[in-house]
Amino acid sequence: MTIVAMWCRHEGDNVIGTGGSIPWSVASDAKHFLDVVKGQTVVCGRKTYESFKDRTLPECEIFVLTRDEGYAVSDAACHYAVTGLKEISEVVEEKDIYIAGGAVIYDLFMTGKEKLKPQVVVDCVYAGEMESLAEDVAEISVSVKTLEKNYRRISPFYCQDGVKSAIYLKKGEFVEQKVLKRIVEILEQNAVLA
């Protein structure tokens, strides 16, 4: 099945977060993320999970990576704490999965086992001002280098509210058209194409 990674990074320095949140607020970009993951199976790190409002994402099944074997999720019916990638390897046999960060998790998937490398990356780049950064800055330069080397852009740039988004496909991979079509339809709403 298909593995999709989606992020919004700051132009130039690839910062995606600080102090447990994202240091900018662009409503249209946040909506794109929620629309893309809606009804899907999401994988994220424990810190990102705790950054979601009410520790949930509407209509999503969520796999939370944590090394804490006793970690309590907010909704035991459809959120699962997992301590390694074995469970994720099994899930991807049956379902598409959406990698939702943060930096540690993007890097883990983008540079890790071949079987778990995303075939599709939705690369959103924010060019505006950031709020002040805390000591812990999450940045994804390693993932971006991998993107530049191993992926090719298959969409125009969708520009909206200072965010420029595009879809990348891992070189040599083929992906179900319906996965791409759904993402394109979400990104192109109200966007200026470049």
Ligand X SMILES: NC(=O)c1ccc[n+]([C@@H]2O[C@H](COP(=O)([O-])OP(=O)(O)OC[C@H]3O[C@@H](n4cnc5c(N)ncnc54)[C@H](OP(=O)(O)O)[C@@H]3O)[C@@H](O)[C@H]2O)c1
Give the footprint of ligand X on this chain (CB under 6 A): 7-8, 16-18, 20-22, 44-48, 51, 65-68, 83-84, 100-105, 108, 138
| Least separation in angstroms between CB 130 and ligand X | 11
Nearest residue (CB) to ligand X, 45 versus 118: 45
3-class secondary structure for the chain?
CCEEEEEEEECCCCEEEECCECCCCCHHHHHHHHHHHCCCEEEEEHHHHHHCHHHCCCCCEEEEECCCCCCCCCCCCCEEEECCCHHHHHHHHHCCEEECCCHHHHHHHHHCCHHHCCCEEEEEEECCCCCCCCCCEEECHHHHHHHHHHEEECCCCEEECCEEEEEEEECCCCCCHHHHHHHHHHHHCCCEEC
| Least separation in angstroms between CB 61 and ligand X | 17
Nearest residue (CB) to ligand X, 134 versus 193: 134
| Least separation in angstroms between CB 30 and ligand X | 10
Nearest residue (CB) to ligand X, 88 versus 169: 88
Nearest residue (CB) to ligand X, 3 versus 65: 65
Nearest residue (CB) to ligand X, 23 versus 175: 23
| Straight-line distance from the first to the last Cα atom of the chain, in angstroms, rounded to the nearest whole number | 30
Nearest residue (CB) to ligand X, 8 versus 121: 8
Residue nearest to ligand X (CB): 102
Which residues have a Cβ under 8 Å from the Cβ of 144 and sit 6 or more positions away? 9, 14, 123
| Least separation in angstroms between CB 32 and ligand X | 11
| Least separation in angstroms between CB 67 and ligand X | 3
| Least separation in angstroms between CB 140 and ligand X | 8
Instruction: Kindly state the tokens that stand for 3.
Output: 């593995």
